[in-house]
C-alpha cells in the first residue's frame, strides 16, 4: 500500500477486541471501469468530511495529494476497486489499487443474530474489521452478505451494502434516525427514481417479513443486486422484476472519465 508520509501502521489481528489504542482508519473506495467512475465527487466529499471530523491529525494537503496520486495510478483499462484511507491516529494517508470483485446479480443474506455492534456506523473505516468478520461468517454459512438488524428487529443495512426494498410500486429506504453509512449509490438510485417518476418512501423493514417484498443490496461495487434471505421461511426464488432490470441498467451508465494522468 502506498502512503504519502511513512508506512501504514500495523493493525491488530482479526478477532481482537477494540480499545482506544487500536489502529483504525477512515476509508473510501469506489468502482472504476475502463477509466470511468460514477459520482466520484460524492465519494470524495464523504471521505474528506469524515476525515475532517474524526481525524484531527489529518492534513488537508496530504489528503488532496494522496487522492490525486491514487487517481493517477488507476489503470484506464479493466475493472478496478481503489481504496484510500487515513489512519485515525497518525493522519497518514495510504492507498491501494485493487481489481474489482466479480459477483453475480443475486446476494444471499445471513441475518446477524447479535445485531449491530459498530462504534461509528455513519463513518466508513473504523468498523471495517468487524464488518469483514461478519461477512466472512456469512460466507461460511453459504451466504454472500451479513445483514445487520436493529433492536426492534428491522433491517439496518448489510455489512458492505445498503438495503432498500420495493412495496406498492415505491422504493423504500431505511428511515432517518437509524445510524448507518450514507450511501453514494443509494443517492444515485434515488435520483434515478426521481427521473422516472418512482416515489421514494422511508420506513423500516422487519427482517422477519423481508421475504414478502423485493429487497435490493446496493453498493459501489455491484451497483444493485437482488437480496434474498434463504433462512427465512417462505423465501422464493429471485424474480427479475422490470424495476430491477431498469435500475441495474441506469446505475451502470452515465459514468464520467476518471481525473488524473492515467
Pick the closest to residue 164 from 196, 179, 145, 186 (CA basis): 186
Q: Cα(256)–Cα(171) distance, rounded to whole angstroms?
A: 26
Segment 9-21 shows an average pLDDT of: 33
What beta strand segments (E) does 175-235 contain? 200-203, 214-219, 223-228
Q: Where are the alpha helices (DSSP H) in 74-176?
A: 128-140
42-70 CB burial, b ≥16 within 10 A, e <16: bbbebbbebbeebbeebbeebbeebbebb
Residue 137 clears pLDDT 60, i.e. is over it = yes
Rounded to an integer, the average pLDDT of 164-183 is 96
pLDDT in tens, 52-107: 999 999 999 999 999 999 999 999 999 999 999 999 999 999 999 999 999 999 99
- Does 16 have pLDDT greater than 50? no
* Mean pLDDT computed over 250-255: 96
Q: What proportion of the chain, given as a percentage, has pLDDT over 90?
A: 82
CA 98, 117, 166, 170 torsion: positive or negative? negative
Determine phi and psi for 79, rounding to 5 degrees.
-110, 125
Name the pLDDT band for 44 (thresholds 50, 70, 90): very high
pLDDT band at 231 (very low <50, low <70, confident <90, very high): confident
Judged by average pLDDT, the poorest of 28-32, 62-66, 117-121, 214-218 is: 117-121
Residue 3 has pLDDT above 50, yes or no: no
Amino acid at each position: 500500500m502506498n502512503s504519502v508520509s511513512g508506512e501504514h501502521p500495523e493493525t491488530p489481528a482479526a478477532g481482537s477486541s477494540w480499545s482506544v489504542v487500536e489502529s483504525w482508519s477512515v476509508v473510501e473506495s469506489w468502482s472504476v471501469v475502463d477509466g470511468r467512475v460514477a459520482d466520484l465527487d460524492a465519494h470524495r466529499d464523504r471521505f474528506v468530511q469524515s476525515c475532517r471530523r474524526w481525524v484531527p491529525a489529518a492534513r488537508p494537503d496530504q489528503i488532496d495529494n494522496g487522492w490525486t496520486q491514487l487517481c493517477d495510478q488507476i489503470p484506464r483499462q479493466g475493472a478496478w476497486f481503489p481504496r484510500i484511507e487515513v489512519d485515525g491516529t497518525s493522519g497518514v494517508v495510504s492507498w491501494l489499487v485493487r481489481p474489482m470483485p466479480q459477483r453475480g446479480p443475486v446476494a444471499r443474506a445471513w441475518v446477524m443474530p447479535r445485531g449491530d455492534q459498530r462504534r461509528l456506523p455513519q463513518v466508513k473505516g473504523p468498523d471495517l474489521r468487524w464488518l469483514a468478520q461478519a461477512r466472512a461468517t456469512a460466507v461460511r454459512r453459504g451466504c454472500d452478505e451479513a445483514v445487520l438488524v436493529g433492536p426492534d428487529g428491522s433491517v439496518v443495512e448489510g455489512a458492505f451494502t445498503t438495503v432498500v426494498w420495493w412495496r406498492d410500486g415505491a422504493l423504500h429506504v431505511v428511515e432517518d434516525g437509524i445510524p448507518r453509512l450514507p450511501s453514494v449509490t443509494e443517492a444515485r438510485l434515488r435520483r434515478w427514481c426521481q427521473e422516472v417518476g418512482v416515489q421514494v418512501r422511508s420506513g423500516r423493514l422487519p427482517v422477519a417479513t423481508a421475504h414478502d417484498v423485493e429487497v435490493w443490496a446496493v453498493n459501489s461495487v455491484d451497483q444493485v443486486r437482488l437480496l434474498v434471505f434463504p433462512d427465512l421461511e417462505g423465501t422464493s426464488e429471485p424474480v427479475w422484476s422490470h424495476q430491477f432490470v431498469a435500475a441495474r441498467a441506469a446505475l451502470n451508465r452515465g459514468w464520467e472519465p476518471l481525473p488524473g494522468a492515467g
